[in-house]
Amino acid sequence: MKLDKLKAELKGDLFTDKMHRILYATDASAYRELPLAVVRPKDKDDIKKTIAFAQKVKSSVIPRGAGTSLAGQVVGSGIVLDVSKYMNRILEVNPSEKWVIVEPGVILAELNKYLESYGLMFGPETSTANRCCMAGMLGNNSCGAHSLIYGSVRDHILEAEVILSDGSEAIFNALTSEEFLEKCSGDSNSLETSVYRYIRDV
Ligand SMILES: Cc1cc2nc3c(=O)[nH]c(=O)nc-3n(C[C@H](O)[C@H](O)[C@H](O)COP(=O)(O)OP(=O)(O)OC[C@H]3O[C@@H](n4cnc5c(N)ncnc54)[C@H](O)[C@@H]3O)c2cc1C
């Protein structure tokens, strides 16, 4: 399967031209590497199709928010998956229970502007707040100047709906010991189960 066939299957964008590959060849670090292609997914189906393609051609997928990482986290030779362009909606807010559901590309400052009218904010005040995205913050477990008070991102994530590297879906949230053991005894062929077993073994 060629990249142009993948492009035809996606709702979002796929770029292979030199300009886009150069634009996405770095983050805020000194590392540089030209990716094979850049995908800007419209939804999770686009992400799954990109992962399936990468598996077929034995490439990697590099999820990316704003690309402000300082250690080359979003630099690589695989397919960069930029969720900031289209997957950036705030889906639901529950002011009384103080939670919000967001897509991965929501920018922290925009989320906090939205939450202000409810008298709420998402605590960790990363200094790149006007551009860093929620998924990038989660990936880096970002924090900020008031981390002793506000904690870091992992202290505030109730649940993460994820797509694993084999394209399967999983939901990660807090579990009791019993629930955790139940997850470990799941289907041996499932990557989600392997993740839980790995944590148990560690
Ligand atoms: C000047 C400057 C100041 C900074 N100050 C701080 C600070 O105060 N505190 C702090 O903690 N950090 C800081 N950083 C680092 C960085 O800005 C933060 O960690 C930021 O939260 C990263 O967000 P991002 O959207 O740019 O993520 P990216 O760099 O795009 O990605 C970060 C990680 O998340 C992964 N990722 C992104 N999207 C997804 C997705 N949809 N699914 C799965 N994985 C995903 C990426 O693969 C990568 O591993 C600073 C950086 C700079 C340049």
What are the φ/ψ torsions at residue 91 (nearest 5 degrees)?
-90, -40
Helix count (H) and strand count (E) of the chain? 8, 8
Q: Mind listing the pLDDT tens digit for each residue in 83-131? A: 999 999 999 999 999 999 999 999 999 999 999 999 999 999 999 999 9
- The CA 109 to ligand 1 mean position distance, Å, reads 14
User: pTM of this prediction?
Assistant: 0.96
Q: How far is the CA of 111 from the centre of ligand 1 (A)?
A: 16
Nearest ligand 1 atom, CA 152: 11
Q: Output the CA 74–ligand 1 centroid distance in Å.
A: 9
Distance 96 CA to ligand 1 centre (A): 29
123 close to ligand 1 (CB < 6 Angstrom): no
pLDDT in tens, 147-195: 999 999 999 999 999 999 999 999 999 999 999 999 999 999 999 999 9
How many Cβ atoms sit within 10 Å of the Cβ of residue 51? 21
Q: Which of 64, 146, 169 to mutate to test the pocket of ligand 1 (most atoms within 8 A of CB)?
A: 64
Q: Where are the alpha helices (DSSP H) in 57-125?
A: 108-116
Tokens 């229970």 sit at which residue? 97
Nearest to 134, CA basis, from 158, 107, 159, 114: 107
β-strand 13-15 against 37-40: which pairing, if any? Answer: antiparallel
